[in-house]
Amino acid sequence: DLSPAGNALLARTLAYGKRADVAATFAVHNPADGSFIGDVADMGAPETQRAIDAAKAAFPAWAARTARERADILRAWFRLILENQEALAEILTLEQGKPRAEALGEIVFGANFIEWFAEEGKRLYGDIVPTHAPDKRCLVLKQPIGVVGAITPWNFPSSMITRKVSPALAAGCTIVVKPAEDTPLSAIALQLLAEEAGFPEGVMNIVTAKRAEAVAGVLTASPDVRKLSFTGSTRVGKILMRQCADTVKKLSLELGGNSPFIVFDDADLDAAVAGAMATKFRNAGQACVATNRIYVQSGVRAAFVEKLRAAMEDLPVGPGLEADTRIGPLINPAAVAKVQELVGDALGKGAEAVLGGTPHPRGGLFFAPTLLVDVRADMAIASTEIFGPVAAVYGFETEAEVIAAANDTPYGLAAFLWTRDIGRVFRVGEALEYGMVAVNETLTSNPATPFGGVKESGLGREGSRYGLEDFVEIKYLALGGI
Ligand code: ADP
């Protein structure tokens, strides 16, 4: 059911992904119906080492190019992605499940990072520091870190790659990317277009693998890899952080979240409900910034729940390639089992399901959009990233109470706040221990703004000039005898 252009790019991607020099392969499946899409190379330690060697060999010449030369190739890649956006979106939906319109949004969103960093790479300014002695001069240079390792997740299989690769390459680094095992095709398609765009051999490398451990082990142990950039679970992020200790690598970690979504009595309720729909159900709830805990002040709780129920009632659930689908399948059986367990635990402890509460009657990996009320902090769903289409509503009375509740988690990625009171915007916005706080809006990430978390949600920022700084080393160059 792909378009001719989608089928053509898929065929090229599968041909590219099954490398002649790697005998082992693993299968990629469509989560909407379990059907087999194709096989890709199952690489391990030797292939990872070869990729690192290639990136290392390519680094000096790439770093020596001017930012403008690098930008020219990055922009060619950006244009190729936009020219192929429909086909890339179809491949994304095919292997990941999200509705086609969302997939298209992700392809364009991801491509925008490339264009933005291509330009920002030209503005990696150093400093000249006022001297401490008349015959000395103090310069601060910003230089690319070197070879970067990137490990990316399945929930945004295209944009999480471009968001890492484009600042790395713009800064003059080279990179080895290991995409998630559920969604290698989007990564391979990006690599294929990167080659077409004209990146020199070894500048960008993809290592596909069924099991992450061997590849990650080589990436983290290699003294040639000077930085690791990871997006995924907090559990795996901690493993990688430990593994990087022996070579004292720089780290960017974009880990799990537990986003509070706080609605005060004075909020514009219709806007808040629209915001809850957007932040809760995008990608069927499978996003690290997805709304996880909805706190509604007592004066508007009943009205908010009724409006949310009405908005959720007829959400079309189905394969992402079907035209009107809003909620696709979850990524795999383990994801469905986990969501079911969280809902079961909440219902067992006294929560009430206003809508859903079970897998969807369609079967397979589809879960019914679920609205739970009377949810409390002692239920597992309060402290766990749901990663499914389940809206959990909690009550609260006071500002102090909801700030304490919202911060009562080891995570600190994104928080949402709905109020018209300007004083409260500052009081609560500043008190929330989160890397991103959205006030009366849904935090549409964009290349110019810093994305990232505090506490166990991670280290570093992606996007923005801060995200570029994460790929450079600062060197102090001291001149004497002047
Ligand atoms: P998610 O919950 O999004 O699946 P994971 O952290 O399991 O998050 O996966 C994110 C990425 O980390 C994927 O590319 C996956 O293959 C990789 N990964 C999973 N386990 C490990 C591990 N033990 N070491 C290194 N990478 C891993």
* Smallest CA separation from ligand 1 atom 19, residue: 212
* Smallest CA separation from ligand 1 atom 3, residue: 232
pLDDT in tens, 243-266: 999 999 999 999 999 999 999 999
Known catalytic residues are 254
* Smallest CA separation from ligand 1 atom 14, residue: 180
> Which atom of ligand 1 sits closest to the CA of residue 151?
14
Q: From CA 186, how far away is CA 107, in angstroms rounded?
A: 10
What sign for the dihedral angle of Cα 454, 459, 463, 468?
positive
- Substitution site in 40, 43, 151, 210 for ligand 1 pocket (most atoms within 8 Å of beta carbon): 151
In the chain, pLDDT over 90 holds for what percent of residues? 98
Two tokens, residue 10: 């898929």
pLDDT in tens, 369-387: 999 999 999 999 999 999 9
Residue 236 CA to ligand 1 center (angstroms) comes to 6
Q: From CA 359, how far away is CA 363, in angstroms rounded?
A: 7
* Smallest CA separation from ligand 1 atom 9, residue: 232
Predicted TM-score (pTM) above 0.80: yes
Length, in residues, of the chain: 482
Two tokens, residue 148: 């970067």
Residue 136 CA to ligand 1 center (angstroms) comes to 49
pLDDT in tens, 19-42: 878 889 999 999 999 999 999 999
Is 430 a residue whose pLDDT tops 90? yes
pLDDT in tens, 354-372: 999 999 999 999 999 999 9
ipTM value? 0.97
What sign for the dihedral angle of Cα 101, 103, 308, 412?
negative
The whole-number pLDDT of residue 444 equals: 78
Q: From CA 366, how far away is CA 340, in angstroms rounded?
A: 11
Please name the residue ranges forming H helices in 233-362.
Answer: 234-244, 269-281, 301-313, 333-348
pLDDT in tens, 67-97: 999 999 999 999 999 999 999 999 999 999 9
Two tokens, residue 62: 């790439």
> Which atom of ligand 1 sits closest to the CA of residue 153?
10
Mean pLDDT of the chain: 97
The whole-number pLDDT of residue 264 equals: 98
* Smallest CA separation from ligand 1 atom 26, residue: 212
CB atoms within 10 A of CB 60: 11
> Which atom of ligand 1 sits closest to the CA of residue 236?
6
Please tell me whether residue 413 adopts helix, strand or coil conformation: coil
Residue 299 CA to ligand 1 center (angstroms) comes to 42
Nearest to 433 by CA among 460, 461, 405: 405
Residue 397 CA to ligand 1 center (angstroms) comes to 39
Nearest to 258 by CA among 438, 98, 107, 413: 413
> Which atom of ligand 1 sits closest to the CA of residue 154?
3
Is 231 a residue whose pLDDT tops 80? yes
Is 184 a residue whose pLDDT tops 90? yes
* pLDDT, mean of residues 36-52: 97
Is 445 a residue whose pLDDT tops 90? no
Q: From CA 153, how far away is CA 176, in angstroms rounded?
A: 15
> Which atom of ligand 1 sits closest to the CA of residue 155?
3
The whole-number pLDDT of residue 19 equals: 83
Please tell me whether residue 113 adopts helix, strand or coil conformation: helix
Residue 212 CA to ligand 1 center (angstroms) comes to 7
Is 145 a residue whose pLDDT tops 80? yes
pLDDT in tens, 322-365: 999 999 999 999 999 999 999 999 999 999 999 999 999 999 99
The whole-number pLDDT of residue 1 equals: 82
Residue 436 CA to ligand 1 center (angstroms) comes to 23
pLDDT in tens, 63-75: 999 999 999 999 9
* Distance between first and last Cα of the chain: 71
Q: Show the ligand 1 pocket: residues with CB < 6 angstroms.
A: 151-153, 155, 178, 180-181, 212-213, 216, 232-233, 236, 239-240
Q: From CA 86, how far away is CA 60, in angstroms rounded?
A: 36
Q: From CA 376, how far away is CA 353, in angstroms rounded?
A: 14
Two tokens, residue 454: 């505090």
Burial track 384-415 (b if 16+ CB lie within 10 A, e otherwise):
bbbbbbbbbbbebeebeebbebbbebebbbbb
pLDDT in tens, 110-135: 999 999 999 999 999 999 999 999 99
The whole-number pLDDT of residue 443 equals: 83
- Substitution site in 236, 251, 283, 413 for ligand 1 pocket (most atoms within 8 Å of beta carbon): 236
* pLDDT, mean of residues 233-238: 98
Is 153 a residue whose pLDDT tops 80? yes
